[in-house]
């Protein structure tokens, strides 16, 4: 039998092949040290309302990211955008070209999209990448790094609930058609633009109330503006109670509102009974009977929380 010695050429090819296989198997480039968190603003919105998201992007290092891009899966323009870094456009879809993100740097964005007018939820996927790819790319042949986060906002069409991300100063109000099946409506006006606002009432809304020593009536209304923040300028709230649920022979001067909110994680209850006339002051109210006999209470308050109509 004749044995053939390997030539120098074949030995070199074999060595190169082994090196390539080793690189593919265990020595690929590490992903960037990035992190992306997404907070829903708010958790649930009314069908057709705007849904907001706060996106925080951090480069935890140790290397710089030479080019960073952000987009999302919604095939429609964003309705609101603020960012600590320039480079974003809202239309025709959300797309950001941030440039370099050095180790230790951070970008924070607030984005909103119009939610569908029907259904039970609205899912959005946010994507970071290093190549400028978007969800419309057909080739799917990018060799860059990608990081995605998917969040789902609930859609709540119940008449006792209303909520959304307020892209411009405005009012969020739940079902205002009052009757025996809906004895109370609640509205809150956002004190500024770009804030999540939700209002809710009904039998499922309850709060502790150690100062409810008068005569409570109606339902609890729950207000959440800007993730529970307090506002020096005050939040305007309007609660309307169905005429049949208003105490008979009502003396408007005796109308109060019991207010439960949290300070440092502890429940606090106040009784709002100061008149807002001639001008609103913190924690004041105005009560009036409407032509159909419904009672309308307008409140100016510094805090979110629960609100319950009552009498002194």
Whichever domain contains 122, its CATH number is 2.60.40.1530
**Residue 227 belongs to domain with CATH number:** 2.60.220
Q: What is the pTM of this model?
A: 0.85
Residues 243 and 111 in one domain: no
How confident is residue 141, by pLDDT bands cut at 50, 70 and 90? low
How much is the average pLDDT of 27-40?
A: 81
Query: Comparing 162 with 143, which gets the higher pLDDT?
Result: 162
How confident is residue 26, by pLDDT bands cut at 50, 70 and 90? very low
Q: Which of 109, 128, 155 is the last residue of a domain?
A: 155
Task: Please name which of 193, 202, 198, 225 lies closest in space to residue 49, comparing C-alpha atoms.
Answer: 198
DSSP output for 39-78: EEESSEE-TTSEEEEEEEEEE--SSPEEEEEEEES-SS--
Task: Please name which of 145, 13, 2 lies closest in space to residue 68, comparing C-alpha atoms.
Answer: 145
Per-residue pLDDT for 102 more than 50? yes
Q: Which of 155, 176, 205 is the last residue of a domain?
A: 155
Residues 170 and 292 in one domain: yes
Tell me whether residue 11 is in a domain.
no
Residues 280 and 180 in one domain: yes
Q: Which of 132, 155, 178 is the last residue of a domain?
A: 155
Tell me whether residue 23 is in a domain.
no
Residue 128 domain boundaries: 34-155
Residues 226 and 288 in one domain: yes
The per-residue pLDDT for 71 is 97
Tell me whether residue 17 is in a domain.
no
Per-residue pLDDT for 241 more than 60? yes
Residues 129 and 173 in one domain: no
What is the number of structural domains in the chain?
2
Residues 174 and 137 in one domain: no
Spell out where 103-177 has E strands.
106-114, 121-129, 146-155, 161-166, 171-173
């Amino acid at each position: 039998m004749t044995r053939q010695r390997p030539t120098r050429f074949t030995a070199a090819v074999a060595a190169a092949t082994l090196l390539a296989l080793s690189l593919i198997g265990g020595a690929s480039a590490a992903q960037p040290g990035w992190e992306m968190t997404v907070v829903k603003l708010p958790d649930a919105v009314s069908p057709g309302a705007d849904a907001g998201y706060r996106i925080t992007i951090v480069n935890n290092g140790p290397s710089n990211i030479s080019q960073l891009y952000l987009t999302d899966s919604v095939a429609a323009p964003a309705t609101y955008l603020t960012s600590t870094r320039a480079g974003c456009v809202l239309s025709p879809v959300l797309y950001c070209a941030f440039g370099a993100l050095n180790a230790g740097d951070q970008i924070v964005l607030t984005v909103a999209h119009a939610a569908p007018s029907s259904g039970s939820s609205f899912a959005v996927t946010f994507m970071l990448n290093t190549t400028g790819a978007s969800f419309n790319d057909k080739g799917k042949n990018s060799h860059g790094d990608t990081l995605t986060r998917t969040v789902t906002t609930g859609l709540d069409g119940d008449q006792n609930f209303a909520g959304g991300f307020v892209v411009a100063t405005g009012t969020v109000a739940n079902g205002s058609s009052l009757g025996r099946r809906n004895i109370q409506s609640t509205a809150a006006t956002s004190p500024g633009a770009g804030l999540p606002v939700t209002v809710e009432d009904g039998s499922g809304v309850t709060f502790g109330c150690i100062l409810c020593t008068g005569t409570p009536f109606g339902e609890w209304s729950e207000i959440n503006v800007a993730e529970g923040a307090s506002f020096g300028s005050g939040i305007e709230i309007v609660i309307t109670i169905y005429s049949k649920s208003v105490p008979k022979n009502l003396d408007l001067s005796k109308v109060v509102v019991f207010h439960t909110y949290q300070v440092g994680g502890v429940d606090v209850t106040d009784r709002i009974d100061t008149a807002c006339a001639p001008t609103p002051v913190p924690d004041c109210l105005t009560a009036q009977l409407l032509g159909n006999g419904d009672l309308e209470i307008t409140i100016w308050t510094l805090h979110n929380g629960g609100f319950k109509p009552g009498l002194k």
